[in-house]
A and B are shown apart, each in its own frame.
Chain A
Amino acid sequence: MSEKEIKNLEEIFEARIARDEKIEPKDWMPEKYRQTHIRQISQHAHSEIVGMLPEGNWITRAPSLRRKVALLAKVQDEAGHGLYLYSACETLGISRDEMYEQLHSGKAKYSSIFNYPTITWADIGAIGWLVDGAAIINQVPLCNTSFGPYARAMVRVCKEESFHQRQGFEIMLTLCRGTEKQKAMAQDALNRWWWPALMMLGPTDAESVHTEQSMKWKLKRKSNDELRQQFIDQTVPQADILGITMPDPDLKWNEETGHYDFGEIDWDEFWQVVKGHGPMNKERMKARVGAWERGEWVRDAAMAFAEKNEQRKIAKSS
């Protein structure tokens, strides 16, 4: 194809997205669109998969059967969400194995929030309330993104995720209405998860390299800073209901803007964690790669069994 022809195709393509038409896997698409989507959707899938680890840590120690079934269901949902997203990503021509390889080698990233440890039961509450809360804010606009398979996966994910946030908030509420010690545990979890949750919504607009192109492709409908402000505005009143305080002395309602002002985010910490130096990066990758490697013989055995059955069927029918 000549350069002029490609340019022409690109213009038609951009116009389709501008008209809110969806792009489906077999449609022509610019290489950059394909690559950007592979990167974002696979990172999103990896985040769901790695996101199971901090919570899985508490399944056997959940304080009641009610909490245990809820947490199990939540972690199972995350596995499901990872699978929807991997499937959506595969339609762009990357294999599942390539994606795993990128995750396991550290080439692909996942959300930095999962590199923090879950040291008390209250952390499970804080994750549901704050981490899933921030994730929902990120994901709801993606239900309308331009790439059909991604948008459809996000619709399912968003439908299922509101239970995650509610179960987290309920855990926090129960602790906050409990003994002094339990309430202190909830406050401690909030102290540790608040800033990382704010970082989850991504670097500031000034630092964010992908924003403009992503807006055009509807991979993003609002900027990181707008999403962060939305998250803060909706979450602070929830903390008031719980009767615990955000660990930010500069957090204050601004009558003029109609938003909360907030303190400086420690972006050095964010980049350190992204680069692999967070408290749990090594641990998470070790668990993930270990699970993959220990499962290898099971995958091979299942394949061998399927092939043997297939042979038998052929032998019988001939």
Chain B
Amino acid sequence: MSENKKNWPLWEIFVRSKNGLEHRHFGSLHAADADMALENARDVYTRRNEGVSIWVVESKNITASNPEHNAEMFEPAKDKIYRHPTFYDLPDEVKHM
């Protein structure tokens, strides 16, 4: 195959399994354009009624965080226990709060 030839790009597929639920990442596939990506996604990921709505996003348009930077990225949230309801002491008489 020649080097300068363009292959079908990769698309990430998100499917809403039913109304009321969010779109969830299902996987990826190759397609020439967005319309074909939608059609292929229907055949590859929803053969058994797994979805009522599909989003396709070309993979190169996704910016992902780097797991090597997970410490600076996510650890600052770890010691902020005052963001959770259990941090606050209430007398037992207060039943529901």
Taking beta carbons and an 8 Å cutoff, which residues of A are in contact with B?
24, 26-28, 73, 76-77, 80, 83-84, 87-88, 90, 95-97, 152-153, 160, 299-300, 302-303, 305-307, 309-310
Contacts and interface: CB of A to CB of B under 8 A. Distances in A.
B30 interface: yes
A24 B8 CA distance: 24
Nearest to B13: A87
A5 to B, nearest CB: 13
Nearest to B7: A97
A26 B64 contact: yes
Given A28-B67, A80-B47, A96-B7, 11 more contacts: A26-B67, A28-B68, A76-B43, A84-B44, A88-B27, A152-B27, A302-B32, A303-B6, A303-B7, A306-B33, A307-B6
B86 interface: no
Q: Please name the 10 residue pairs, one residue from A and one from B, whose CB atoms are nearest each other, closest first.
A: A306-B33, A302-B32, A306-B32, A87-B28, A303-B32, A27-B67, A26-B67, A87-B27, A83-B44, A303-B6
Contacts of B48: 160
B5 to A, nearest CB: 8
Interface string B1-42: 100011110100000000000000001111011001000000
B38 to A, nearest CB: 13
A157 to B, nearest CB: 12
B66 interface: yes
Contacts of A28: 67-68
Contacts of A24: 67
Interface of B: 1, 5-8, 10, 27-30, 32-33, 36, 43-44, 47-48, 64, 66-68
Contact of A77 (B30, B32, B47, B68): B47
Contacts of B1: 97
Contacts of B7: 95-97, 299, 303
A88 B7 CA distance: 18
B15 to A, nearest CB: 12
A299 B29 CA distance: 14
B47 A305 contact: no
A306 B44 CA distance: 21
B44 A309 contact: no
A152 B45 CA distance: 13
Contacts of A309: 33
B13 to A, nearest CB: 9
A76 B40 CA distance: 12
B91 to A, nearest CB: 39
A303 B10 CA distance: 13
Contacts of A302: 8, 32-33, 36
Contacts of A307: 6
Contacts of A153: 27
A309 B30 CA distance: 18
Given A84-B27, A303-B6, A26 B66 contact: yes
Contacts of B67: 24, 26-28
A199 to B, nearest CB: 30
A302 to B, nearest CB: 4
A309 B33 CA distance: 9
A203 B61 CA distance: 44
A28 B66 CA distance: 10
Given A26-B67, A28-B68, A303-B8, A87 B29 contact: yes
